Amino acid sequence: MKKFLKILKITCITLLSIILIFIAYLYSSSKLFLESTKEENISYLSKNSVQVSYSIEEKLFDADFYKSQVFLLGEIHGYADNQTIDQEMLFFLNKKLGIKYYIAEMDSLTAKKLNGFLAEKQKNETILKEVVESIKRRIPQQASQELFNKWNAVYDYNQKLADSSRIKVIGIDKNFDDESKGSRDEAMVSNFKNVIQKRHLENEKFYGLFGYFHTLQKKTESGRATFAAGLKDSGVKVTSFVSYTIDSEMYLPENPQFPTPEDEKVDWLNADGPLMLVKGINDLKETSKPNAITLFKLNSKNSPYLNSQNLITVKSRAFGENIVPLKDSFVTDYFQYVFLLRNSKALTKLK
């Protein structure tokens, strides 16, 4: 019996030691990857950032910014503040540039139903609920009460506009019955171009919210095509915003792939770890405030990010894949603006 207890004790100590060593490794390797703050970056970011409250401020947008034909916001799905940003970006660009075409990561049939909702003289929330349920098929983490509320707000906003100026949705993702062999991103580029040609929208500007990876304007080492890169390669001028999170909760709905918490919320997929790491994120953290959304411009004159791979180099320890930029490319080749969401709530189920 004594021998058994001794073996059990040694086994427990060994297991505990292994766990502690693993935790220490994760902590130290994360700290090394994220890097300490750099004074040059802090100085630049403090002068090229603005806190976002109830609307988008144009302080960081110059004449060249407004020359873009397509503006994209890339999100990691599941965070409530992304829906707020998306709504305010759409309203800002509509007021400033008259943008009325919202391109979306949804199929044409779902977009048609959403446009039907937006065009009704009397608001029909039953149709909007059906749209949210349709979106759940492709992006479960986006289908939410906050998504519903956003499109409700777009409907109300539209009522103040002339019929010819009202916001319309263009769904450019693959339909579910599309069996073509190309990737979704390649299909989105093709569908976007076809819509422009068919509807004679060559002189229009566009805005839309997509998953983070789709908005990168250049291929990474994985070689996978992206929607934004496809547009840029075909001569379309694109501006990309991406959002990162700190101390925020993600909506992770129940699914068969892996277990989810009872409240369907997780707080361990932020940009500073432990399971996702964005190199250089500590500089943004240092120049932002808790419980706030901060917008950073990366491509101003003399920006240190014009020759840096920080913020585009991403390590994923659980979901998705690592993002490694191509050699001799820099973060501003991939996107030009970053929203940092601090203490964002998770999206919630549709009521």
Q: Is residue 290 part of a domain?
A: yes
Q: Are 24 and 88 in the same domain?
A: no
For residues 272 and 187, membership in a common domain is answered with yes
Q: Decide if 93 is inside a domain.
A: yes
Question: What pLDDT sits at residue 260?
Answer: 80
Same domain, yes or no, for 189 and 106? yes
Long-range contacts formed by 41-48: CB under 8 A, 24+ apart = 41/280, 41/283, 41/304, 41/305, 41/310, 42/283, 42/286, 42/287, 44/300, 44/302, 44/303, 44/304, 44/305, 45/283, 45/284, 45/286, 45/287, 45/296, 46/287, 48/296, 48/297, 48/298, 48/300, 48/303
Whether residue 182 is contained in a domain is answered as yes
pTM of the model: 0.92
Q: Where does the pLDDT of residue 196 fall: very low under 50, low under 70, confident under 90, or very high at 90 and above?
A: very high
Which of the residue ranges 23-27, 66-70, 148-152, 178-182 would you say has the lowest mean pLDDT?
23-27
User: Is 272 domain-assigned?
Assistant: yes
- With a CB cutoff of 8 Å and minimum separation 6, the contacts of 153 are 87
Whether residues 259 and 337 share a domain: the answer is yes
The CATH number of whichever domain residue 204 belongs to comes to 3.40.1660.10
Helix (H, G, I), strand (E, B) or coil at 280: coil
- pLDDT of 162 strictly over 80: yes
Residue 230 and residue 299 share a domain:
yes
Same-domain check for residues 43 and 13? no
Residues 65 and 23 in one domain: no
Per the domain annotation, does 350 fall within a domain?
no
Handedness of CA 241, 304, 327, 281 (dihedral sign): negative
Average pLDDT over residues 198-223: 97
Residue 18 clears pLDDT 60, i.e. is over it:
no
In a domain, 185, yes or no: yes
pLDDT value of position 24: 46
In a domain, 136, yes or no: no
Main-chain phi, psi angles of 174, to 5 degrees: -65, 140
What pLDDT does residue 120 have?
94
Q: Where are the alpha helices (DSSP H) in 215-349?
A: 227-233, 281-286, 331-334
Burial classification of residue 8, based on how many CB atoms lie within 10 Å of its CB (0-12 exposed, 13-18 middle, 19 or more buried):
exposed
Cβ atoms of 292 and 299 within 8 Å: the answer is no
CA distances from 328 to 9, 210, 298, 309, 331 (A): 54, 26, 17, 9, 10
Within this chain, do residues 24 and 83 fall inside the same structural domain, yes or no? no
Q: Are residues 1 and 68 in the same domain?
A: no
277 plus 329 within the same structural domain: yes
Distances (CA, A) of 308 to 40, 74, 280, 327, 333: 12, 20, 10, 11, 10
Q: What number is the average pLDDT over the span 161-184?
A: 91
Same domain, 247 and 187: yes
- Does residue 57 have a pLDDT over 60? yes
What is the signed CA dihedral for 53, 288, 65, 315, rounded to 10 degrees?
-120
pLDDT tens profile 262-271: 889 999 889 9
| Whether the Cβ atoms of residue 175 and residue 41 lie closer than 8 Å to each other | no
Domain coverage including residue 262: 38-111+169-342
315 and 334 fall within a common domain: yes
pLDDT of residue 26: 52
Give residue 179's pLDDT: 80
Own/partner pairs, 155-160, CB within 8 angstroms, 24+ separation: 155/117, 155/118, 155/123, 155/128, 157/91, 157/94, 158/118
131 occurs within a structural domain: no
Quick one: pLDDT at residue 291?
97
Cα atoms in the Cβ-side hemisphere of radius 13 Å centred on 56: 20
| pLDDT over 80 at 252, yes or no | yes
Give the pLDDT confidence of 83-122 residue by residue, as tens digits: 999 999 999 999 999 999 999 999 999 999 999 999 999 9
Q: How many domains does the chain have?
A: 2
Calpha distance 11→152 (Å, rounded): 59
Alpha helices in the chain (DSSP H): 2-34, 39-47, 63-66, 80-97, 108-119, 125-138, 145-158, 184-199, 227-233, 281-286, 331-334
Which pLDDT belongs to residue 15? Answer: 65
Predicted local distance difference test score (pLDDT) of residue 254: 84
Q: What is the CA radius of gyration of the chain?
A: 22
Residue with tokens 């991103």: 185
